[in-house]
Amino acid sequence: MGKFKETSMGAIFQNRAQQYGDKALVSFKNKDGVWEDLSWNQMNEKIRNLGNFLLSKGVKPGDKIALFSPNRYEWWVADLAILSIGAVNVPIYATNSAPECRYIIDNSDAIMCFTGTKGHNDKIVSVKAELPNLKEIIVFDELEKKAPGVVQLSDAMKEGSKYPKKNEFDERLKPINIEDVATIIYTSGTTGNPKGVMLTHKNFVSNVNQANAVDPDFLTGDHVFLSFLPLAHSLERTVGYYAPIHLGHKVAFAEDVSKLLENFQEIRPTFLVSVPRIYEKVHNGILAKVAGAPPVKKALFNWAMGIAKQNLPYICNDKPRTGFYAFKYNIADKIIFSKLKVALGMDKLKGALSGGGPLSVSDAEFFLGMDIKVLEGFGLTETTPITNANRPKKIKPGTVGAPVKDTIIKVGEGGEILIKGPQVMKGYYKNEAATKEVFTDDGFFRTGDIGEVDDDGYLKITGRIKDLIVTSGGKNISPQNIENSLVASPYIEQVAVIGDNRKYLSALIVPSFENLEKWAAAQGITYSSPKELISNDKVAELFEKELEENMKEYARVEQIRKFTLLDTVWSQETGEMTPTMKLKRRIINQKYASHIEAMYPPE
């Protein structure tokens, strides 16, 4: 046990730094394009220098400090400096606009803001005049021209290293109360303004311990994580950052999502924390490549996939393969699986976590079949986030697993999932009415998700209350399940199911243009723009078949009767997606109202 009582992530970091010293903690690609390591001691020196800089500026316990940057080791340095002196970190998604940042900084009463790149810094500088409480901006990147009121991180750390009160950092860290607020994370705001979720030191410390308790043996030994989900999101923060610190593992920072495959191949991580979209894209990319492969290769791949499917009872129940099947699996592994994993940079992957949305059974089974243990879990920002997780020794695709330690899951009225546990938030910042609304009289948190619990205590999420479609015939339908099935098609990038108060379901579909263009070339289809391509009759026929193929399991009332193909991809910048890549249905309904109405002609 280290010298600090482990009641905060700042204290846990100090104890591990004492334990691991010169061992590598983080890895990042430097300006020369070379991966560079920083040890626990080197990171600790930066954290302490920055913490001392904040102390020199008079930052008090409970003061709010915003953090607006993509994933990088400096994010960790700023976060641990803030938390270690008893201040509160207010993370902002790196993709947020200047007005969104202004709202969060203003609503949270932040007195300082850390920024990542020049672009992030410019956004904050542009709204600083509207933020009277914002005293200083500290930028991570070196700027050619220094702006007034902006301090460079390197200068801040230099200044902090000269701070005379050397013991003050530890004196501020030791008395931190586990019930104190550590962070305020603003929810993505699919409807209205985002709310500030207050998470305490207890929430984080509990959730990190709960994650480890799912299977303490699973993450023993040396591991390398690859960080690419936004650190502003509680999934990456708890599982991809605080958990590796707690367990003494190394984390490499991906350059950005566009270079993810390249970074995978360079880092070859042993553990992965991801959202379903990444698993889906990898799976679809492989299937699209196979579709264009010569017949012999295609037949070989399909044979191996049949072997992989037979592997599911073994890997999901942690049983060794035996007899002739083990022999067949080894051949399939030698000629297909191992080569595929090397090509993806996943050959050292021991396990992976999926959260932040529903993972399709076909995507989960694709990786499980190749002996990659993908564990789907569940949680919300308000629950730090993990409440449920599949166990490495009992994996049930299509479920989000059993409750984690010290967590009670209850199914309430209308099938709503209710949760009680040490990871549940303190409340929404300066919003008592919203806080009261999300808790039951007996203290359970209302998730807003609908689900059912099976005989093993494993939870299956079947929909989200506010997204439920109620057809004019009175049938309740969850659009997420249908959308999740449809994006399993290699030709569908994004989809929104429509049908509230309508006689039948329809869909707005954004094609995967990369795969669609390859298909069109093979069909001899010529076009001058994406708009012209999606207007082609053969393309319409292709999507009709894809819908039919991916909706075989659905009842008649859940079938998509009409669809419209769109020529532009949805994003946070264009307004249809949240920073965590969830659909903003209200915006989509407004923006595409004419397309939607055209699918429901008057009778």
Q: Which stretches of 214-275 are DSSP H helices?
A: 234-237, 243-247, 260-267
CATH of 1-176, one of 3.40.50.980, 1.10.10.10, 3.30.470.20, 3.80.30.20: 3.40.50.980
Q: Identical fold at 200-426+441-465 and 468-598? A: no
pTM of the predicted structure, to 2 decimals: 0.92
Tell me, what's the pLDDT at 421? 98
Contact 85, 172 (CB under 8 A): yes
Q: What is the DSSP letter of 508?
A: E
Q: What amino acid occupies position 173?
A: L
How, if at all, do strands 136-139 and 150-152 pair? parallel
d(CA 90, CA 165): 26
Q: Does domain 200-426+441-465 have CATH number 3.30.980.10?
A: no
Which residues, at least 6 apart from 550, have a Cβ–Cβ distance to it below 8 Å? Answer: 485, 486, 488, 489
pLDDT of residue 1: 44
Judged by DSSP in three states, 13 sits in: helix
What integer pLDDT is reported at residue 592 of this predicted model? Answer: 96
360-413 residue pLDDT tens = 999 999 999 999 999 999 999 999 999 999 999 999 999 999 999 999 999 999
Of 505, 506, 511, 540, nearest to 523 (Cα)?
540
Tokens of 181: 């607020």
For residue 135, the SS3 value is: coil
Report yes or no: 185 and 232 within 8 Å, Cβ to Cβ. Answer: yes
Tokens linked to 372? 């990659």
Distance CA 493, CA 515 (A): 10
Contacts for 465-470 with beta carbons within 8 Å, 24 or more apart? 465/414, 465/416, 466/190, 466/191, 467/585, 469/497, 469/498, 469/499, 469/500, 469/505, 470/500, 470/501
User: What is the distance of C-alpha 299 from the center of its chain?
Assistant: 35
Residue indicated by tokens 């270079």 = 259
Of 58, 35, 55, 36, residue with least CA distance to 47: 55
pLDDT for position 41: 98
Which residues are CB-contacts of 287 (< 8 A; sequence separation ≥ 6)? Answer: 490
Dihedral angle computed from the Cα positions of residues 262, 266, 268 and 272, in that order, rounded to the nearest 10 degrees? -50
What is the dotted CATH code of the domain comprising 468-598?
A: 3.30.300.30
Q: Determine the longest span between alpha carbons in the chain, in angstroms.
A: 80
Tell me the pLDDT tens digit for each residue of 303-349: 999 999 999 999 999 999 999 999 999 999 999 999 999 999 999 99
Cβ atoms < 10 Å from Cβ of 513? 17
If DSSP codes are grouped into helix, strand and coil, which group holds residue 142? Answer: coil
* Domain edges within the chain: 1-176, 200-426+441-465, 468-598
Phi-psi region of 415 (alpha: psi -120 to 50; beta: other; left: phi over 0): left
Residue 236 CA to its chain's centroid (Å): 6
- State the residue for tokens 């690419």: 228
Check residue 147 and give its pLDDT: 82
Helices (H), 218-360: 234-237, 243-247, 260-267, 276-291, 295-316, 323-332, 338-344
CA distance 37 to 497: 46
pLDDT < 50 positions in the chain: 1
Exposure of 497 by Cβ count < 10 A (0-12 exposed, 13-18 middle, 19+ buried)?
A: buried
Q: How far apart are CA 490 and CA 512, in angstroms?
A: 7
Q: How far is CA 433 from the centre of its chain?
A: 28
- Cβ(436)–Cβ(442) under 8 Å? no
Query: Are 439 and 410 in contact, with CB atoms under 8 Å apart?
Result: no
Closest among 59, 69, 445 to 256, alpha carbons compared: 69
3-state secondary structure 376-443: EEEECHHHCCEEEECECCECCCCCCEEECCCCEEEECHHHEEEEECCCCCCEECCCHHHHHHCECCCC
**For the chain, what percentages of helix, strand and coil (3-state, to nearest 5) are there?**
40, 20, 35
